[in-house]
């Protein structure tokens, strides 16, 4: 097993930048399309578009430039700001991983050989439907 550090940078009250958005930006840069990038990342076009819109609103300059429809179809590309943000985020990831390498290895040595996942079979004391609903009785 290999432990993985996931960095998530909270940008403002409504947006953060983490590995998922960074992967989406890389897919957009590679494919030239939000649609193709969404498919590549296993998400809907709507979800990908919402994430791109969130990032474009969070930064001073847009991170993705998109053109829609037309005779040649649309397309999308990272703006210079988007390329810079993606590069900086990947640098943060690498530096953080290097900084905690020995501690991460120590934690990995403490992980069980065959860890058991938590039970997900409804043994929580709650009913399966109407979690903790009050039962009304007429008097």
Question: How confident is the model over 91-113, as pLDDT tens digits?
Answer: 999 999 999 999 999 999 999 88
Cβ contacts of residue 107 below 8 Å, gap of 6+? 3
Predicted pLDDT of residue 26:
98
Question: Which of 28-32, 53-57, 59-63, 118-122 comes out lowest in average pLDDT?
Answer: 118-122
Report the sign of the C-alpha dihedral through residues 56, 62, 68, 74, in that order.
negative
**69-101: b (≥16 Cβ within 10 Å) or e:** eeeeeebbebeebbeebbeebeeebeeeeeeee
Range of the domain at 22: 9-109
Q: How many domains does the chain have?
A: 1
Identify each DSSP E strand in the chain by its residue range.
9-10, 16-17, 64-67, 75-78
Residue 10 and residue 86: Cα distance in Å, rounded?
15
* pLDDT value of position 138: 57
Q: Give the pLDDT confidence score for residue 119 in this predicted structure.
A: 82
In a domain, 121, yes or no: no
Q: Examine the pLDDT at 120 and tell me if it is beyond 80.
A: no
> Is 51 contained in some domain?
yes
Residue 129 confidence (pLDDT): 58
pLDDT exceeds cutoff 60 at 74? yes
CA distance 125 to 122: 7
- For the cut 70, the answer to whether the pLDDT of residue 126 exceeds it is no
Distance CA 65, CA 32 (A): 10
Query: For residues 55 and 63, what is the distance between their CA atoms, to the nearest angstrom?
Result: 7
Q: What is the pLDDT of residue 57?
A: 95
Would you say residue 137 lies in a domain?
Answer: no
Is residue 4 domain-resident? no
Give domain status of residue 117, yes or no.
no
Q: What does the pLDDT read at residue 3? A: 80
Task: Out of 22-26, 39-43, 106-110, pick the least confident.
Answer: 106-110
């Amino acid at each position: 097993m290999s432990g993985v550090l996931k960095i998530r940078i909270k940008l403002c009250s409504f947006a953060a930048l983490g590995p998922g958005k960074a992967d989406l930006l890389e897919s957009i840069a590679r494919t030239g399309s939000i649609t193709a990038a969404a498919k590549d990342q296993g998400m809907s076009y709507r979800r990908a578009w919402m994430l791109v819109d969130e990032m474009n609103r969070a930064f001073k300059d847009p991170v993705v430039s998109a053109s829609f429809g037309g005779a040649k179809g649309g397309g999308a590309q990272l703006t210079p700001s988007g390329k810079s943000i993606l590069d900086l985020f990947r640098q943060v990831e690498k530096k953080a991983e290097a900084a905690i390498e020995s501690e991460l290895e120590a934690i990995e040595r403490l992980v069980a050989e065959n860890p058991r996942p938590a039970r997900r079979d409804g043994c929580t004391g709650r009913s399966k439907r109407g979690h903790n609903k009050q039962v009304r009785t007429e008097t």
